[in-house]
A and B are shown apart, each in its own frame.
Chain A
Amino acid sequence: MSVAEEPAAPTATAPGEPLGEVLLEIRGLSVDYGLGDEPVHAVDDVDLMIRRGEVVGLAGESGSGKSTLAYAVSRLLRDPGVITAGEAYFYDYPKGSYREGGEGASGAPAGTPKRIDLLTSDKNKIRAVRWTEIAVVFQSALHALNPVLRIGRLIDDVLKTHEKQMSRAERRARAEELLDIVGISPDRLSSYPHELSGGMRQRVMIAVAIALRPSLLIMDEPTTALDVVIQREILEELMDLRERLGFSILFITHDLSLLIEIADTIAVMYAGKLVEQAPAKSLFHSPRHPYTYGLTTSFPSLHGEKRVMTGIEGSPPDLRHVPSGCPFHPRCAWAMEECTTKVPPALELHDIGGSRQVLCWLQDGAHEVPAELNATPPAAGTDEARPSMRVHGTPVRAHGSAEEGGAP
């Protein structure tokens, strides 16, 4: 919860800022499981923004609320999930107005979007935006593909619903084209899901997801169930596709190392709160939140400097009994008196890696920041942080990336 009497934190939010390239805007979203006497606060007062063409990684341990957040914002969260506060807007830009990658792309006019309030719009409006603009790739394609339906039938259903002008033959041709895009032979359209391998199923899922050229793909641990080689293959293809088609991705995973390779921005969740959000490289090389720091030291880095692997002691809290103050304080090596009682404010910091958001008392300017949480981020624009992926294309940012300031 952002504290009302926020200390003199440096914020650069002038009222009436232009939208720029914002695609999805989440403000103060809270989600409970159950409405009764003892609800579980799975997501608590989260702000998150996704811009056009951007890959946003949402990281966190199991139970941190990352999937809950993504499903809640698409209103797909199941009973007993209830959205208890906040707002979520989707901006529907005219199709084809986005050009990414090419020179001077970021300067091009955005086109005026239409606004969709995801939390208050009626069902028909939400159904209309589903899949045409926001598509979801589920973790397990085996469970997400209807076992008694042929692959082609599912694609056909999707096209028939949203592209009413298409003829049967056109739908068929489009379905074949889609399979071809994801590298599957078109004659697989008549296959049932159980006749495909795990990797093929996930490819089919992606084909289904991009069928209507959505502008946002929500991917919930899409490759967790696959072996490493296929996982890598699919991710590379996904990033190629993203470059060609220009969709944004909200990529949910517990695997931070993966995000560093594919994401532009990473948001880290802990116990329902978004504790840190920063450009991928900055977050990895110069974490500002103790939890993020702990995560970055929990796995070996394949490229980049050697690190001492330490991990985080303790285990995530039971969400029915979240610790008071900062939920991370029982596991935090730098916990202070006020961390146990007061929830930290959402602080916006600006450094050479770009602006970032962090939820920690240490960074409020009034405390001395430990050296581990004060590393100098790599300058924006250098690409050496993600050398392994054939992924380029710098994301478009609407506002200041090189502002100095924030934490000392």
Chain B
Amino acid sequence: MRVFLRRLGFYLLAAVAAVTLDFFIPRMVPGDPVLTALAQLKGSATPGALAALQAQYGEGTNHAGLWHQYLHFWNMLLHGDLGLSLSLGNTHVTTIIGQHIWWTVILVGLATVISFIVGTLIGTLAAWRRGTWIESLLPLTTFLQAMPYFFFATLLVLLFAVKLNLFPAQGGYDTFSSTVGLNWAFISDALSHAVLPALTIVGASLAGWIIGMRNQVVTVADEDYVLLAEAAGLPRQRVVWYAMRNAILPQISSFALALSFVVGGSLLTEIVFSYPGIGFILLSAVKSLDYSLVQGIFLVITLVVLAANFIADIVYVALDPRTRQEA
């Protein structure tokens, strides 16, 4: 329990850091881009929206001190308010993110779980069957890993969408024939649209899991407890399990780093596929200088990633009895 609370405390602290960072980004940048943007918007934005923005960034009539602005920022945040998006018709940033975040969470979540499981299994196999053909796959996976997500995505589009016409290349669902909701037609349509983006994420992140697990199993196989399992005549699967059960621990603890990569890559993947997730919205927000939307998206992605890391930490504690004692 103490371990749990300590990890929770760490992630709360990280969340506070993220919020603070989010607050300071527009204020650290020299030349006050927000002011410029506000000036450009004066003609098009409604007076109410403009005032809200000015309040958010501490500009215009409401020249408050930095500390006051910071508190105001927290106050807005705790009321679930991330400000107004100017590029998308003065809607609330939270509303826009709420519409798109699930596409990303489900896509990235599923792809990451698949990639982790498949990569861990292949990595174990590659380590256990050293000197066989599986090991010769390793350089190939390195090549895949070195490929940027968006280039890999482009190649998949070329092969599976343009040449073979198996899966749709654009969008999250067919906007003409499907109605969004929990009906089979929509779900199957969404799934077929998700295949290529998911394949991109799996393909690009698989190599990391394979190589990581392979190296861990190779290292763990040198431990006496694995040899003991062999010495005790335990069946092969059981011996491999002894090694895997230990080798998987560093895999889980490297999850944080991997997730950061995957999330970044996924944002780019969404853009290639015009997938209606958060990455796609982020791109349009950047293009239209919609600062509050950019900030909001950063914050929400960060909080989701922190939550995922927290879950990974809890899994780790559950899998390693030694961490439970240290508390």
Contacts and interface: CB of A to CB of B under 8 A. Distances in A.
B231 A146 contact: no
Contacts of A162: 233
B325 interface: yes
Interface stretch (B38-46, B84-92, B202-210, B238-246): B238-246
Contact of B224 (A140, A148, A158, A195): A140
Contact of B228 (A126, A144, A161): A144
A136 B228 CA distance: 8
Contact of B233 (A127, A145, A147, A208): A127
B238 A157 contact: yes
A157 B224 CA distance: 16
B246 A146 contact: yes
A366 B13 CA distance: 84
Residue among B232, B245, B249 with most chain A CB within 10 A: B232
B246 A147 contact: yes
B47 interface: no
Interface stretch (B148-156, B256-264, B316-324): B316-324
B231 A136 contact: yes
Given A157-B238, A161-B238, A192-B321, A144 B225 contact: yes
B181 interface: no
A126 B222 CA distance: 21
A157 B229 CA distance: 9
B66 interface: no
B232 A194 contact: no
B231 A194 contact: no
A136 B224 CA distance: 11
A157 B230 CA distance: 12
A194 B238 contact: no
Contacts of A192: 321-322, 325
Residue among B230, B233, B319, B321 with most chain A CB within 10 A: B233
Contact of B245 (A135, A144, A148): A148
B321 A146 contact: no
A interface, over-half SS: mixed
Nearest to B320: A148
Residue among A127, A132, A194 with most chain B CB within 10 A: A127
Nearest to A161: B234
A130 B229 CA distance: 10
A155 to B, nearest CB: 10
Contacts of A131: 231-233
B227 A78 contact: yes
A154 to B, nearest CB: 8
Residue among B222, B225, B230, B320 with most chain A CB within 10 A: B225
Given A194-B321, A194-B325, A74 B231 contact: yes
Interface residues of B, number: 23
Contacts of B242: 146, 149
Contact of A78 (B222, B233, B235, B319): B222
Given A143-B223, A146-B242, A194 B322 contact: yes
A132 B233 contact: yes
Given A143-B225, A148-B245, A195-B325, A76 B231 contact: yes
A91 interface: no
A78 to B, nearest CB: 7
A161 B231 contact: no
B254 to A, nearest CB: 18
A157 B321 CA distance: 19
Contacts of B231: 74, 76, 130-131, 135-136
A145 B228 CA distance: 8
Contact of A158 (B222, B232, B249, B322): B232
Contacts of A132: 233
Contacts of B245: 146, 148-149
A161 B235 contact: yes
B195 to A, nearest CB: 36
A126 to B, nearest CB: 8
Contacts of A143: 223-225
Given A76-B227, A143-B224, A144-B225, A158 B246 contact: no
Contacts of A128: 233
B225 A145 contact: yes
Nearest to B232: A131
A291 interface: no
A152 to B, nearest CB: 13
A230 to B, nearest CB: 20
B246 A157 contact: no
Contacts of B234: 157-158, 161
A192 B228 CA distance: 16
Nearest to B228: A144
Contact of A147 (B228, B230, B232, B322): B322
A138 interface: yes
Nearest to B227: A76
Given A148-B322, A149-B242, A161-B238, 16 more contacts: A78-B227, A128-B233, A129-B233, A130-B233, A131-B232, A136-B228, A136-B231, A143-B223, A144-B228, A145-B225, A146-B242, A148-B245, A148-B249, A158-B232, A162-B233, A195-B325
The 4 nearest A-B residue pairs measured at CB: A130-B233, A144-B224, A146-B225, A143-B224
Interface of A: 74, 76, 78, 126-132, 135-136, 138, 140, 143-149, 157-158, 161-162, 192, 194-195, 208
9 contacts: A143-B225, A144-B224, A144-B227, A145-B228, A146-B229, A149-B242, A161-B235, A192-B322, A194-B322
